[in-house]
Chains A and B, each alone.
Chain A
Amino acid sequence: MHRILLVYLMALLQCGIAIEASGQETNKGHQVSGYVLDAASGEALIGATVWCSSIDAGVSSNTYGYYSLQLPFGKQQVTVSFIGFQAQSFELELKEDLKMDVELASGVAIQEAVVTGASFDRIEDQVQMSKMEIPMDQVRRLPAIGGEVDLLKSLQLMPGVQSGGEGTSGLYVRGGSPDQNLIVLDGVPLYSVSHLFGFFSVFNADAVKQMSITKGGFPARYGGRLSSVLEVNMKDGNMREYHGTANVSILASKFTVEGPIVKDKASFMLSGRRTYLDLLLNPVINSINSNDPSVETDPRYFFYDLNGKINWKIGSKDRVYLSVFNGKDDFGLAATEREGVSTSTFDFGLDWKNQVLAARWNHEWNSKLFSNITLTQSEYNFNTGIQFSETENTSDSTSASFASLYRSGIVDYAARIDFSNAISNRHYLRYGGNITLRQFNPGATTLQLQSGDFPGIDTTFGSSELESVERFLYIEDEVQLSDRIKANFGVHATALEVNGKYFPSLQPRAALNWKLRDGSALKFSYAQMQQFVHLLTNEGLSLPTDLWVPATDEVTPQLSTQYAAGWAKTFGEIEVSIEGYYKAMDGLISYREGASFSNTFNSRWEDQVTQGQGNAYGFEWLFQKKIGRTTGWVGYTLSWANRQFDEINSGNWFPYTYDRRHDASVVLMHRFSDRIDFSATWVYGTGRALTLPEATFRTFLPNSFTTVPGDFTGLNVEVPSEKNAYRTSPYHRADVSLTFTKEKPAFSRSLIFSVYNIYNNLNPFFSLVEEDIDGSLSIVEYGIFPIIPSIAWRAEF
C-alpha cells in the first residue's frame, strides 16, 4: 500500500515540475497578484474572489488576503468581490506582471447589489466540498444564551455538525468525537476550547475575523485529526484608525481595541473578556451561610480570555504577524470552620488554562510564489487540588494538614512552512512541511501530609511525562482538468516518533468537481486521515479532566477513510447542497468497561483504555441564503454513527453516544432597518444514546476460600442494558434575538434582547433513578435550561 502511495506522491511531484516547465514555455500572459483588503481598516479579506470573466477563471484570496491570477495579453475585465463589500471591477491590459492590492469598501448588507456573486465563488464552482463558513457578521447577530455569542454553537447549527448536549460547545462532526476536530487559532492547534465545563467556547467573537469548518474531502495541507478542521482567524488590527467595542451582558463583559501602530504599516488588536458569576453569586451564597457565623465560605468561579495580535508590513513583499491567546477557568470552594480553640479549613480548586503563541512571516517570492513560515507554541494545563487543615490554638498547639494536587497537560512547539504556487490558471500548487515537538503530562498526583511532630509525607506519583515528534510533508495541486472538471489531488506524508517507535503514514487525498450543463455540480472526495493524539474522556460529560495522550506502542494512532459525494447549485441567492458520506474509523480509544478518569490518577492510562473501530454515514442537506435583507439557512442531517470494541458490549457493534438519526436547524436573520435586527433559530435532534440499568439480581460470594462452605456474603448486582440501548428525549429549542442600534457621531450603541429556549421546552441533560413517596422507582430525565431571557449592551467607536 505504502509503495503505491509513494508512487502516487512521486507522480504528483513530477506532474508539478512538468506543469511548471510547460507553464513557462506556454506562458501567454502576465500575472496579477496582491492583497485584497478592507478599505476602511486595511484588514486582509480571506476568501475574496478575483475573477476574470473573459477567460472564465479566477482565484480566491488566501488566509492572508493574497491572490495571484494569470491574465492573457490584451484588455481584460477583472472583478474583485467579497460578501458584505462593494465589488470593484478593473480593466487591465498587462505588459508585465502587475502587483495590485485591491481595497474593497464595506457595503450595506441589505443592498443585494453589494455582492456581485461572481461566478467563481459559487458553491458549485468550488472543488472543496464539505466546507462551511458563517460570516462573522451573521454569527454576531445570532441569539445567544446569556447574550454571550459563541462561535462553536453557531457552527452546531450547520448540517453534519452536532452539539454534545444542552448548552455545550463541543463539536461532533460526522459521527466523530470532539478530539477528532483540529481547531486552529491563527494556525495554532488548540487542545481545549471550552469554558464553564463546556457551556462556552474560548473564542471571543469580537476578536475573530473569519472562521470556516471542513468536514470532509480534506486537502493535503490538513492533517492530524480525523473528523474536521476548524480554522479561526483573529482580526489583524485596523491599519488606519483606532476602533473599539465594549460589550456588557449578564454573564460577562468584553472589550476590543484595535488601531495602527504606524499607519498602513503596523497595527494591533487587543481583546479581553471576563465573567462575573462569582461577583454576582458570592454575596447571595454568603448571605445564605450567614446563619452560622462559625462557618465562612468562599466559592469562586470565573473565566477570562485575552487575545492580542500585532501585524507589521515590512516592505511590499513581507509581513509579520504575532498572535497571543490566553484563557483560564478557575473554579473552587474554600470553607473555614471555627469551633472553640480549633479551626479547620477546606479548600477545593479546579482550574484549566490555554495559552497560544504564534509568529508568522509571509513572503512573496515573485508574482506566483507565496510562502508563510509559522512558529507556534500551544499549551493546555489542568490542575485540581484539595487541602484540609486542622489547628488547635492552645498552649501546646497542634496542627495537621493534608494536600493533594493533580496536574495534567500538553505542550506543542511547532514550526511550519507553506508555499502557494500559482503555476498557471489551470494549476495551483501548494506544498510544505511541519515539525511538532509535543510534551504530554498524562497526570501526576502530589500528596503532602503533615501531622503534629510526625515526619511529613511529600510524594508524587502517576503517569510519567512523554515526548513525541510529529513531522509531515504535503503537496497538493488544484487542477482544471477540462472546462467542466476541476480537481484537487494531494498527498499528506506524516510520521510520529514516540518512545523510539515510528508510525509512518502516507495519506492520499482527492476531490473532484464536475460541472453539469444545467450549472449545478457533482462533487466527489476521498480522504485518508491519521491522528496521533487521543483524548481520554468519559462520554457522558465533557470535563477539563479529559486527558490528551499520545499514540504509543501500546495504543496505536487513529485512522479514518472518508468518501463523500454531493451535488450543489445556486438558485438566485440561495445555495443548495446535498452531500452523502461514509467514514470508517479505526484505532479509536475508550475507557474499558468499569474504568473512569479517576483511575488515571494513580495508574497507567494505557491500562484503562481499549481500542476499537467505528463508522459513520449519512446525508446532509443545506439551503443557505447569505445575502440580502433576509439571510439564514435550513439544514438537515440524516446520519448513523456506530462503534465496536472487542472489550465493550461483548464485542458487538453499538450506537455511538452521539449517534443522531435526525438533526435539523432553521436559522433566520432579518434586518428591518439600519436600527433593528431580528434573528431566530430552531433546532431539533434525536435524543442521545445512553446505557441504563435494566435489572437487578442477588448473588453470594464466599467469605473464605478455605473455611466452612456456606459462609457467604450476599450482594445485589445491577445489570445495565446493552451499550447505548436507550435514547433520551429528542432535543428541540427555539431562540430569538432583537437588536436595536443607535448611531451617534462618535460611536454607535446597541441593545440586544435575546430569549434562549423561547417555548420553554426542558431538554434532557441527565437522568436519575428516583424513588417516589410510595416507594415506586422510576428513571427520570432532568433538564437544566428553561426559557432564559437576557439583555446585553454593546458600543462601538
Chain B
Amino acid sequence: MKQKTSPSIALYLALPLACFVLLLSGCERLGNGVVREIEFPAHTPQLAVTLISRPTTDTLVARARTSAGILDTTGSKRLKNALFTLSHENGTSLTWGGQSDWVGGVGHVITSVNLEPGLWTLRCEEENFETATAVQLTPPQIDSLGEYPYAIATTLNNVEIDEYNEGEEFKYVVYRNWTMELDLPDRPGDRDFFVLKAQQTDEWDEEEEFWENNTQISPEIEDDTRMTYNRLAGGWMIEDISDANSLNALGFEVDQYLSGSNLDSLLARPAKLELAALSNELAEYYRTLELINNPSGGPLFTEPLLAFSNMSTGFGCFGLYTSCELELTGE
C-alpha cells in the first residue's frame, strides 16, 4: 500500500515554482534595500567659537558659528553679532565683536593686542544662545634665548645647481639639503607640544613649471615616536612622550628647491622654518581634527572620534601658541 506521506510530482513542481516566486519577491525588496530611516533627536544649536592666536600680536581674530544637526542642510552659520570678552586673571580685559568689528571673510577682529602671560578666559555671547567660555594659559615664548629656548645645529650636506638655457636667458635650479638637529625645551611635570613646519614663501610658477622656493622637512628617523605629521597644521607635531629632556636631538632632513635667473640671489635665500609651541588644548585640538579629517582607514573602518574642545559648549577651541622662525642658510 502506497504511503500517504509520499510527496506527489505536483508538489515537487510546485515547490521550485514557489521558490522562484519568492526569489522575485526578495529581489524586489532588495532593490529598495531600505530598512528604515534613523530618527535623531532635534539638535539644539550651540556656539562654536574659534580663537587661535599668538599672545603677542597686532591682531586677534575670533569666529563664532552655530553648530548644526547632521541632517541640517544649511549647516553651521556665522554669527556677526557675537560679542567676545577676553579677561586676564589679573582683571584686565578686552571686549570686541558685533557688526562694528566684523570683517567680511575674516571674522571679528581686534587690533593692537598684546596678551600678557597668564590665564585668560574667553567669553562669547550671542542672543538666543548659551554663552560659551573657555580658559587658556599662555604657553612660554619659544625662542633661541630666554626661559623656553630651543637649540639648533645644522649641516649643509649637498648643493646641486643645474643650469639651462631658455632662449637668451639662463635659468638656474638649485637644490640644497641640510641635516638639522633640534633640541626643544621639555619641562619636567608639564607636557610640551610643538609644531615644526616649512614656511612656503613662494608659489608654484606655472610658466616655469617649478617652485620658486620650496622647502620640505622630514624626520631622519622614520618611526620617531615623538613626532607625527599633521596635515592640518602643515608640519610635524612634536610631543614630549616621557621624562624631561626627551626632546633632545630631534633629527630632520631639510630639502630646498629654488629656481630663478639670478644665481646669487637664489643662493642667498634661506630655507625658512616655523617653530610653534602649542598649548596642550590647542595641540589636542589639532590632533583630533587631523584624525577626523584624514581617517587612516577611511570613514567606514575608522573608530569614531569626538573633536576635542575646551569651549563650554563642546564646539571649537580657544588656543594660544608662541612661535619663531628658523632660517637655514647656504653657509
- Which residue numbers of A lie inside 8 Å of B, CB to CB? 538-541, 590-599, 603-604, 607, 648-650, 672-673, 675-676, 691-710, 712, 715-720, 723, 726, 728-729, 738, 740, 751, 753, 755, 757-758, 760, 762-764, 767, 769, 771, 775-791
Q: A723-B304, A760-B25, A780-B37 are in contact. List 12 more A-B contacts (CB 8 A).
A: A593-B291, A596-B297, A598-B296, A701-B232, A703-B234, A709-B57, A710-B107, A716-B75, A717-B289, A762-B35, A769-B70, A791-B16
For residue A780, which residues in chain B have a CB less than 8 angstroms away from its CB?
Answer: 34-38
Q: Are B67 and A695 in contact (CB under 8 A)?
A: yes
Q: List 14 A-B contacts (CB under 8 A).
A: A596-B301, A694-B70, A697-B315, A699-B65, A703-B234, A706-B324, A707-B199, A710-B59, A757-B26, A762-B34, A764-B36, A786-B29, A787-B29, A791-B19
- Judging by beta carbons under 8 Å apart, are A783 and B33 in contact? yes
B289/A594 in contact, CB under 8 A = no
Return the contact of B19 from the options A597, A762, A790 (Cβ within 8 A).
Answer: A790
Residues of chain B contacted by A603 (CB below 8 angstroms): 223
Binds A, one of B1-9, B145-153, B164-172, B258-266: B1-9
B43 at the interface (CB under 8 A from A): yes
Determine the distance from Cα of A701 to Cα of B107 in the docked complex, in whole angstroms. Answer: 13
CA distance A494 to B261 in the complex (A): 74
Contacts of B103 in A (CB 8 A): 710
Q: Which of B58, B195, B306 has the most CB of A within 10 A?
A: B306
Residues of B within 8 A of A762 (CB): 29-30, 32-35
B90 within 8 A of A: no
Interface string of B21-50 (1 = CB under 8 A from A): 011011101101111111010010000101
- CB of B282, distance to nearest CB on chain A (Å): 10
Assembled-state Cα–Cα distance A543/B69 (Å): 32
Q: Would you call A695 and B69 a contact (CB within 8 A)?
A: yes
Q: Chain B's nearest CB lies how many Å from the CB of A285?
A: 18
Whether A698 lies near B76 (C-beta < 8 A) is yes
CB pair A594 B292 closer than 8 Å: yes
Question: B63: nearest residue on chain A (CB-CB)?
Answer: A700
Across the interface, do B38 and A598 meet the contact criterion of CB distance under 8 Å?
no
Q: Look across to chain A and name the residue whose beta carbon is closest to the beta carbon of B200.
A: A704
- A691 and B304 contact, Cβ closer than 8 Å, known pairs A594-B292, A597-B297: yes
- Please determine whether A726 and B15 come into contact, CB atoms closer than 8 angstroms: no
A595 is contacted by which of B60, B223, B302 (Cβ under 8 Å)?
B302
Query: B27 to chain A: which residues have CB within 8 Å?
Result: 786
Known contacts: A718-B292, A786-B26. The answer to whether A700 contacts B70 by CB under 8 A is no
B138: shortest Cβ distance to chain A, in Å? 15
A685→B12 CA distance, assembly (Å): 35
Structural contact, B26 and A760, CB atoms closer than 8 A: yes
Contacts A593-B303, A709-B60; is A697 near B316 (CB within 8 Å)? yes
Determine if B248 is an interface residue (Cβ-Cβ < 8 Å): no
Query: Smallest Cβ distance from A49 to chain B, in angstroms?
Result: 33
Q: Measured between alpha carbons, how far is A790 from B16 in the docked complex, in Å? A: 9
Contact A753 B19 (CB under 8 A): yes
CB-CB under 8 A for A538 and B23, given A697-B315, A762-B29, A780-B38: no
How far apart sit A780 and B23, CA to CA, in the bound complex (Å)? Answer: 24
Partner of B38, one of A592, A700, A767, A787: A767
Interface residues of B in 118-133 (CB under 8 A from A): none
- Contact of B71 with A by CB under 8 A: yes
Interface positions of B from 257 to 300, Cβ below 8 Å from A: 274-276, 286, 288-289, 291-293, 295-298, 300
Contact indicator B274/A694 (Cβ below 8 Å): no
Residue contact B293 to A715, C-beta cutoff 8 Å = yes
- Measured in the bound complex, the distance between the Cα atoms of B303 and A775 in whole Å is 28
The minimal Cβ–Cβ distance linking A565 to chain B, given in whole angstroms, is: 36
In contact, B323 and A595 (Cβ under 8 angstroms): no
Of the listed residues A673, A704, A728, the one surrounded by the most CB atoms of chain B closer than 10 A to its CB is A704
Q: How far is the CA of A538 from the CA of B7 in the complex (A)?
A: 49
CB within 8 Å for A706 and B199 given contacts A596-B301, A701-B233, A762-B35: yes
Output the least CB separation between A375 and chain B (Å): 39
The reply to whether B303 and A591 form a contact with Cβ atoms under 8 Å apart is yes
Say yes or no: is B92 at the interface (Cβ < 8 Å to chain A).
no
Expressed in whole angstroms, the minimum distance between the Cβ of B331 and any Cβ of chain A is: 22
Instruction: Give A758 to B72 CA distance when docked, in angstroms.
Output: 38
A779 and B71 CA atoms in complex are apart in Å by: 8
B176 within 8 A of A: no
Partner of B23, one of A598, A779, A788: A788
Question: What range describes how many residues of B lie at the interface?
Answer: 35 or more
The answer for the CA separation of A260 and B203 in the assembled complex, in Å, is 82
A695 and B70 in contact, given A593-B291, A594-B288, A783-B35 (Cβ under 8 angstroms): yes
Q: Name the CB-closest residue of A to B73.
A: A775
Is the beta-carbon distance between A764 and B199 smaller than 8 angstroms? no
- B306 near A719 with CB under 8 A, answer yes
List the 6 shortest-distance A-B pairs measured between CB atoms, nearest first. A596-B297, A594-B291, A789-B19, A697-B48, A786-B26, A705-B276
Q: Given A699-B48, A705-B274, A779-B70: A715 and B54 within 8 A (CB)?
A: no
Chain B nearest CB, measured from A452 CB (Å):
21
- Across-interface contacts of B275 in A (CB, < 8 A): 705
Q: Is the beta-carbon distance between B306 and A720 smaller than 8 angstroms?
A: yes
Known: A676-B7, A697-B315. A596 touches B289 (CB 8 A): no
A718–B63 alpha-carbon span in the complex (Å): 18
Q: Is the CB of B304 within 8 A of A593?
A: yes
| Inter-chain contact A709/B305, CB cutoff 8 Å | no
Chain A residues with Cβ below 8 Å from B10 are none
Of A719, A771, A775, A783, the most chain B CB neighbours within 10 A belong to: A719
Contact B70 A718 (CB under 8 A): yes
Taking a contact as CB atoms under 8 Å apart, the answer to whether A697 and B304 are in contact is: no
B297 cross-chain contacts in A, Cβ below 8 A: 538, 595-599
Is B5 a contact partner of A675 (Cβ separation < 8 A)? yes
Hey, which chain B residues are within 8 Å of A728, CB to CB? 35
Which chain B residues (225-241) contact chain A, with CB distance < 8 Å? Answer: 225, 232-234
Instruction: Select from chain A the residue with minimum beta-carbon distance to B287.
Output: A594
How far is B311's CA from A518's CA once the two chains are assembled, in angstroms?
65
Nearest to B316 among chain A residues (CB) is: A699
**Contact indicator B109/A710 (Cβ below 8 Å):** yes
Q: Contact between B68 and A697 (Cβ–Cβ < 8 Å)? A: yes
Contact between chains at B274 and A704 (CB < 8 Å)? yes
The residue of chain A having its C-beta at the shortest distance from the C-beta of B278 within the complex is A705
Interchain CA distance A696-B306 in the complex, whole Å: 11
Please pick, from B6, B65, B223, B321, the residue contacting A675 in the complex, using a CB distance under 8 A.
B6
Knowing A540-B300, A762-B33, A762-B35, say if A706 contacts B60 (CB, 8 Å): no
In the complex, residue of chain B having the shortest beta-carbon distance to the beta carbon of A731: B35
B61 within 8 A of A: yes
Looking at the complex, which one of B30, B43, B301, B317 makes contact with A597 (CB distance below 8 Å)? Answer: B301
Q: Which residue of B is nearest A648, CB measured?
A: B303
B154 contacts chain A at the CB level, 8 A cutoff = no
B325 located at the interface, meaning its Cβ lies under 8 Å from any Cβ of chain A in the complex: yes
| Cα distance, A697 to B292, chains bound together (Å) | 13
Assess whether A753 is in contact with B15, with CB atoms less than 8 Å apart: yes
C-alpha spacing A780/B67, complex, angstroms: 22
- Taking A593-B291, A594-B303, A675-B6 as contacts, is the C-beta distance between A778 and B25 under 8 angstroms? no
A596 near B35: Cβ-Cβ < 8 Å: no
A595: chain B residues at CB < 8 Å are 291, 296-297, 302-303
Q: How far is the CB of B176 from chain A (nearest CB, A)?
A: 21
Which of chain A's residues have a CB closer than 8 A to the CB of B7? 675-676, 740
- Shortest beta-carbon distance from B322 to chain A in Å: 9
Cross-interface CB contact of B303 among A596, A704, A769, cutoff 8 Å: A596
The answer to whether B50 touches A700, judged by C-beta atoms less than 8 angstroms apart, is: yes
CB of A8 to closest CB in B, whole Å? 41
B80 within 8 A of A: no
Contacting residues, chain B, for A720 (C-beta < 8 A): 304-306
Among the listed A596, A705, A767, A786, which residue makes an inter-chain contact with B302, where contact means beta carbons less than 8 Å apart?
Answer: A596
- Measured CA separation A764–B33 after assembly (Å): 9
A760 to B21 Cα, complex, angstroms: 12
CB pair B75–A726 under 8 Å, yes or no, is no
Closest chain A CB from B103 CB (angstroms):
8
Q: Most chain-B Cβ atoms within 10 A of its Cβ — which of A695, A720, A790?
A: A695
Per the bound structure, the CA–CA distance linking A125 and B69 in Å amounts to 58
